[in-house]
Amino acid sequence: MDTIRIHPGHLIDGTGQPARHDWAVLIEGETIVAVGPDAGVPRPAHARHIDVPDGTALPGLIDAHVHLVLPRSHGSMLDEMQALSDDELVVLGAASAERFVRAGVTTVFDCGARGDTAFRIRDAVNKGLVLGPRTLVSGRPVTRTGGHCWWWGGEADGVEAVRAAVVKLLDEEGADGIKMMATGGYMTTTTNPAESAYPREVFEAAVEETHRRGRYITAHAHGVEGMRLASEAGIDCLQHASMIGPERNWQFNEEVARGMASRGTRAAMTMAQGIRVAREKGEVVDWRGAKRGDPLTAAMWMADARALADAGVELVVGTDMTSVVDTDHGEETILEIEAFVEIGFTPLQAIRAATSLAAANLKIDGITGTLAPGRSADILVVGGQPHRDIHDLRNGRAVLRAGRSVLPTPLQPPPLRLSPVD
């Protein structure tokens, strides 16, 4: 069993508390056994030491919405995915998983994949055959017939069919949680993102079966009505949460937002990809100028995130990370965290949204998400002080995933920042 002692210049525990100076972490095997002031943390003679006096240690990052097995797409995602066999998709996903962990993302929740491909990647990671983050999977998303991402094989209509689909995924196939499609989606052009996919009683049946087993359930939701019904039914987290109206424009609804906050419905905003696309085109992303009724853009999405947070909704980091054009596994997660800071979160609040809060959202806060004794040794060490400059998260010096050392991949600078508030 390896023993590792990390002594950074600063330590962020993931809870939102201020960074500590001159603290250390002691790891035995896969587990953190001591955290505290350097002088009080044991120094076993056999330990391997990681000393980064100009750096910061923090919990490994968590991305609550990824897709490991979606191929890069220059046209039709469906056509390009169907051109690949399941074995080819698994190879693609294995490469994506390695990219994540080398960027310091030590836990991901895969929000949808064809057949059993995501399960195969998860199991290969668990067996040590593939280098990757702790991988939680939903398997095939539950969607109505012809609904968003129907091609993954998760079509189910009505209370009993949806209930049966959820039970099969959790009990027979070993899904770690459930993903539902509460509205249509932009990638499935035959669906309407503004329209609820199911009535409330269908969502309630899925929630009942999932929560009975102590598992996590999330839902893709763009439209206001789908967001409202899914939240009222007890869905744990809404993905995208873009608050669009019938005309597919931004129609932020304060009542829905307050209801989400009161029920504890979280949101994973998936802002990063839109921000990247806009800025690499040289566009100004002025989220402060967003107005209800405007078309949904990166600026609207950021304004939506800020408004949800102001209404009391807890936001967690999720990117909708795929292998599609304009995204980059791992780095996209950090871009999402940077977007949190841009809309007014402090760096420590943004880091919490990708660590302890993200872990609580996925119901794994007893395992990871904080630097504390008894937690898994999922640790990112970066150069600099991300509690002061969030972009320092890109300066990876060391990564541990359950105590296993991983060589970090240097990341590119963030895409050109053109927002007036930078």
pLDDT digits (tens, 9 = 90+) for 105-146: 999 999 999 889 999 999 999 999 999 999 999 999 999 999
Kindly state whether residue 12 falls inside one of the protein's structural domains.
Answer: yes
Kindly state whether residue 130 falls inside one of the protein's structural domains.
Answer: no
Kindly state whether residue 106 falls inside one of the protein's structural domains.
Answer: no
Per the structure, the count of domains in the chain is 1
Average pLDDT of span 199-204: 98
Kindly state whether residue 306 falls inside one of the protein's structural domains.
Answer: no
- Is 419 a residue whose pLDDT tops 50? no
Strand order in the sheet with 134-137: 61-66, 105-110, 134-137
Kindly state whether residue 168 falls inside one of the protein's structural domains.
Answer: no
Structural domain for 46, as ranges: 3-58+367-406
* Residue 386 belongs to domain with CATH number: 2.30.40.10
Average pLDDT of span 194-217: 98
Q: At a CB cut-off of 8 Å and minimum separation 6, what does 276 contact?
A: 326, 327, 332, 335, 415
Calpha distance 14→60 (Å, rounded): 9
Give the pLDDT confidence score for residue 325 in this predicted structure. Answer: 47
The pLDDT tens digits of the residues spanning 361-387 come to 999 999 999 999 999 999 999 999 999
- Is 299 a residue whose pLDDT tops 90? yes
Q: What is the CA radius of gyration of the chain?
A: 21
CA angle 380, 34, 176 (to 5 degrees): 55
Contact, 345 vs 306, CB < 8 A?
no
Query: pLDDT above 90 covers what percent of the chain?
Result: 80
Kindly state whether residue 145 falls inside one of the protein's structural domains.
Answer: no
Q: At a CB cut-off of 8 Å and minimum separation 6, what does 249 contact?
A: 292, 293, 294, 295, 296
Kindly state whether residue 143 falls inside one of the protein's structural domains.
Answer: no
Global pTM value:
0.95
